[in-house]
Structure formats: structure tokens, C-alpha cells
Amino acid sequence: MITEQSAQFYAKSASLHDRVYDKPELQSDLAAMHAHVAEVVRGHAVLELACGTGYWTGVIAASAHSVVATDINPEMIAIAQLRDLPADKVQLRVADAWHLPDDLGSFTAVFIGLWWSHVARELQEKFLAHLRSKVGDILVVLLDEAYVEGSSETVARTDMEGNTYQIRVAPDGERYEIPKTYPSDSALRKKLASSVREIKIVRLEYFWMLTCRLK
């Protein structure tokens, strides 16, 4: 589950969240990932988990049939509401990905952008089982960051399960230890094999995207 520290950090840092996409070295990869995401969700009714400020919501909405974008933090949803998102396609909801409400609707795809890396390795199969119980055996799109020395935040420690952690500083100066893992393609396939099928991975220098179907 998302740690209390993580939730607090992202609530405090909501107004600065999109700075992660401003680095000059990321722009080529971001443009490529925009195209990949738009193509894979084309025509789908999408449930977006941990949508943050809605950065990827806009990319999804450009080609999807509809999007219900959710985040645990009202502070994130408040910023997403300020974006020029198409009202006829996008619904924004405060919701915990681990405790999804039953009234979200029906979907043909789930999109999880830059959140999978915060889910502890030992809880990932449990989360996918929970997700399947809510949405069925539909398409899942995971998009996250790759570790690049000199660009990514420094890893502070690794626990017994292989989860890695970073120290982040909120705007008020408080320090938080945030779980953040950078799995290889083989690690992704191995971890997900019992929960999903039809795994396909696109890996760029700074980002990776995995598509699969829940089983």
C-alpha cells in the first residue's frame, strides 16, 4: 500500500509535482511515450490510478473513449481540475487505488503512470489481484521511470525485499523516505507472470511502458 509518508509528501508537493517532466533530457522520451500511450489506449474506457495532477490524463484523453482519473490526494485532483481536460471525456475522482469504490463504472483498460515504482515488490501481486476483482481481466498499462545516473534521484537504501528508497524534501523542508524501484524487463516479467498475460514492454532511456492483460 502507499505509505503514509508517501501520501503526505505528495500532498505537500502537489504544486511542484509536474517539475519532474521539465528536465531537458527527458523531452525526447516524453514525446515518444505520449505517442505510445495515445496509441495503446485508443478507443478504450480508461481507469487511471494515481493520476497526480493529470499530466498523463490529458495524453490519455486525446485518444481514449473516456477516462476516470483517480488519486488518493485531493490536492492533486484540485490541480488536475485546473487543466484544460475535455469535460465530455474526463471525470476526476479522489480514490485510493488500494480501496477502489464500486461506483467508478466499467472499463476496458487501466493506466498507471509513475506509481507502480512506489508499490512494494512483496505487495504487487496482491494489488493486481485486488485490481482484477474490481475491473476484470482487462488491459493494464504501466508507465514508469528508468534509473539514469545523474538524472534520477539517488537511491538511499535497499531493503530485504529488494525495494529501494529515496529521500525527498517537501516544500516545507520536511524530509521523507519514499519507496521507488527501478525494475529491469526481466524482473517485471518474472514478478507479473503469475498475475497477467500478454506482456509487452517498450523501454526508452528514461521511461518504460508495459502492457498486459489481467488473468
Domains of the chain: 4-214 (3.40.50.150)
Rounded CA gap, 47 and 154, in Å?
31
Dump pLDDT digits (tens) for 106-161.
Answer: 999 999 999 999 999 999 999 999 999 999 999 999 999 999 998 988 899 999 99
Cα–Cα separations (whole angstroms), residue 73 to 5, 51, 140, 163, 185 = 13, 10, 22, 23, 30
Contact criterion met (CB below 8 Å) for 145 and 136: no
Pairing state of beta strands 157-158 and 139-145?
A: unpaired
List of residues 6+ apart from 111 with CB closer than 8 A: 37, 41, 46, 47, 48, 49, 56, 60, 141, 143
To which residue does cell 516479467 refer? Answer: 189
Rounded CA gap, 163 and 41, in Å?
29
**pLDDT values of the chain reduced to their tens digit, one per residue, 215 residues:** 456 667 777 777 777 778 889 999 999 999 999 999 999 999 999 999 999 999 999 999 999 999 999 999 999 999 999 999 999 999 999 999 999 999 999 999 999 999 999 999 999 999 999 999 999 999 999 999 999 998 988 899 999 999 999 998 888 888 888 889 999 999 999 999 999 999 999 999 999 999 999 99
The per-residue pLDDT of the chain, averaged, comes to 93
List of residues 6+ apart from 47 with CB closer than 8 A: 67, 68, 70, 104, 105, 107, 109, 110, 111, 135
**pTM for the structure as a whole:** 0.93
Q: What is the DSSP string of 39-71?
A: HHTTT-EEEEES-TTSHHHHHHHTTSSEEEEEE
Q: What is the DSSP string of 129-161?
A: HHHHHHH-S-EEEEEEEPP-TTTSPPP-EE-TT
List of residues 6+ apart from 133 with CB closer than 8 A: none
